[in-house]
Structure 1
């Protein structure tokens, strides 16, 4: 059985509390009203009796029964008065008027007192210094009082119920506003547990729930950062393991593949002497031998740990020479190389052999990106904060966004004749120099590679 939530518990507690308070106040209020109305009713009847006794004084003295009867009939017109009787000194009845009534009657009596040189207001005192000459008796019913009290009780119950219901509704919306952020936080945590790790909780408006949601979001951010750090560490471990295996495998390649390949090339050079020049099969064999040799060299170069031999190098001059070397290769292809390299010298500590090879791989990759179409390669150097930056851009088709995070991984290539080691080697060399290399697509088209090396003046 599912246990009730905080919203149901708060609402149940509110109903019990408001109900108990309403019943208590209703009961107490009913008792107070009952006593108040009953007292005022009895005071009214007592006043009528004293008033009748005051006016009946003269009629008793002169024994004027008709006058006493008229007084009785006048009083009988009052609501709730059923009968009026006036008695003389010896309790003899002088006047009596009674309306037909079948219910229970109550009686109140008041003495008729003979006043002696007193103003009329003294007649309303209960024990004036005078003699009693008679009495009046009033019979009345409390049925109207009972009906009035019942009506008031019903109205009070209705008003109390409406007030209680209204209070419950108000508390319902208040408790709902308190519980809603917590419910939303629970739903968010379930979605995050289902795999939506980018989802974050709404902070809400209440200070307490804002603090809770902020703490929850901070926990998710911390978990996300830890997950990314773990993935990064795993990738680093995998990469180091892969490089170690490549190092071992490179020794086997050097002996088991490169040496036989050299023998095949030497044998082919001897056989060419007996074969007519321009034979297509010979050209195919030589082309494949060169391709295999280049692949093995790239593989061995990448597998060998990049331990730079740092020395003072004019980086601007080195980049110019690298660009000029590739300009010589553009004579037969539709590629133009443009440079924007400062004329002043900048000497930094670097390994020029490794750095030229790494930059050369990027320039070569840029030259091949355009295929048979016109392509402009722009090479420039500049400083940004504490970095020397070499930027190489092309006008090729750019990098597929799906592959932009993978292009520096070993053996990743999208070209049929590519080895997938050129950019991986460049990444390894730049990292060994304490720098970084990035690739992105230019808004104008093509790809842009940036090499950032910390300024380390020689």
Structure 2
């Protein structure tokens, strides 16, 4: 049975390997992208081929995957500072509301003015919220979707619930949604929710999900 020191060592070795792997792949991808741009500039007609679009799409996917790997690798490294959680959560919701309005998805919020000031990494918390909200708006019907965000004080911290009326998650998938590379999306990387989980746990918190297929999902987050 592994002790805490062994687990920490294995985690550090894994993150180092992942960082080196991402770096080694990113360099040739950058070169390939530059070379493709040079080819397109010299021979504009290549862009008329369907295969050209497929190459560019796959290259974009690899770059997105590398960005997700980087986010996953750094999600547990936080720089907290005193944060007015009420004001900050409202700012995040205001930033996504125009997108949801455009998609005709209703956003409702219940965030009291009495939430405590907490030590949070604001960039990582924003990343956490955007990931969860994006998951929600990708699962709800358009138009007619509804996302509800509520927050309240709990055990010297805050609890945040993000609920949607989307397609839900099957019971067999609910046990694996926080595992790296698990995804049910055709173009998903399977790293969004693992990143969220690491960010939450770095803030001494926890996250869980309740879901009913064809009815919706609610994520329960606690930040301590």
Smaller-chain TM-score bracket: 0.7 to 0.9
Residue pair 1:315, 1:347 contacting (<8 A) in 2 also: yes
Shift in CA distance, 345/403, structure 1 to aligned 2, threshold 3 Å: closer
1:389 — aligned with what? 159
User: TM-score, normalized by length of structure 2?
Assistant: 0.83
Residue pair 1:310, 1:351 contacting (<8 A) in 2 also: yes
Secondary structure in structure 2 of the residue aligned to 1:412: coil
Secondary structure in structure 2 of the residue aligned to 1:403: helix
Residue pair 2:84, 2:116 contacting (<8 A) in 1 also: yes
1:243, distance to aligned residue in structure 2 (A): 6.8
1:407 — aligned with what? 177
2:201 — aligned with what? 431
1:352 — aligned with what? 122
d(CA) in 2 for partners of 1:264, 1:412 = 28
Q: Which stretch of structure 1 is more off in the superposition, 381-390 or 280-289?
A: 280-289
2:22 — aligned with what? 253
Shift in CA distance, 278/267, structure 1 to aligned 2, threshold 3 Å: closer
Residue pair 2:167, 2:214 contacting (<8 A) in 1 also: no
1:449 — aligned with what? 219
Matches for 1:135-214 after TM superposition, within 5 Å:
none
Please give the root-mean-square deviation of Cα atoms over the aligned residues, in Å.
3.0
1:272 — aligned with what? 40
Shift in CA distance, 368/444, structure 1 to aligned 2, threshold 3 Å: closer
Unpaired stretches in structure 2, ≥5 consecutive residues: none
1:366 — aligned with what? 136
Matches for 1:68-79 after TM superposition, within 5 Å:
none
1:333 — aligned with what? 103
Shift in CA distance, 264/381, structure 1 to aligned 2, threshold 3 Å: same
User: TM-score, normalized by length of structure 1?
Assistant: 0.43
Shift in CA distance, 364/239, structure 1 to aligned 2, threshold 3 Å: farther
Shift in CA distance, 254/317, structure 1 to aligned 2, threshold 3 Å: same
Deviations, residues 313-342 of structure 1 (Å, cap 9, x unaligned): 122222222222222333553433222222
Aligned length: 220
Structure with higher Rg: it is 1
